[in-house]
Amino acid sequence: MIRLRPLPGQVTAVDREWQARARRLTLDSLYDIRAVAGRWAATIGSLTGLLSLVALVAGPRTADQLPLGWRILAGICVLIAIFCAGYATWCAAEAAQGSIRSTLSTAARVREGFQEQEHDAAKLLRRARFLVVAAMGALVVAVALSWFVPKEGTDYLVIKHGTEVSCVPLKDGLALSLALDEKSTVTVAKKCP
């Protein structure tokens, strides 16, 4: 059995004040965590707006130019980003607001319930932060794919009329109707000369 021994000296007003602060910190910790989670939920909203703006700028047109396998991978990254951002928002809101629990009757049960809610709120807040980082990472990968993966080769309809050359990209089932004279030639090429 361990016995506590008092330190030599007297308890001062400063010691009492620090003890009171420690008690308030312990009692207010759940509310502090919930306040931080509420601010974090607002931050997630801002980050989600930023992610949406980046996705809008990168857009489907850029993804359409990727080869099929890369396009699927970019789409999966965007879906992961959307899922993570949505779940992060839910976790932060749950941490900020708490949930309905049964009524507690004794001081010991109130203390246990309070500490359990504090633990749950802190865990949800950590999860929300992790998910936001994951969402941003997935979106950065998707944007990087759209920027750096070589685009699919586009065929060009090359029209030569004497020394004049015109090129028309052939994509998305483009239909052309041409009227040519005897000096003109039409060929399909991988790039415009």
Does 1 reside within a domain?
no
pLDDT digits (tens, 9 = 90+) for 8-45: 777 777 777 777 776 765 666 777 777 777 777 777 77
Domain shared by 44 and 114, yes or no? yes
Same domain? For 62 and 114 the reply is yes
Which three-class secondary structure state does DSSP give residue 71?
A: helix
Q: In terms of domains, do 131 and 165 share one?
A: no
Any domain includes 4: no
Q: What is the pLDDT of residues 164-184, one digit of tens each?
A: 777 777 666 555 656 667 766
Q: How many domains does one find in the chain?
A: 2
**Domain check: are 17 and 112 in the same one?**
yes
Q: What is the mean pLDDT of the chain?
A: 76
Are residues 109 and 63 both part of a single domain?
yes
The whole domain housing 177 covers 155-189
> pLDDT of 51-104, one tens digit each?
666 666 656 556 677 888 888 898 898 889 889 988 988 888 888 887 766 666
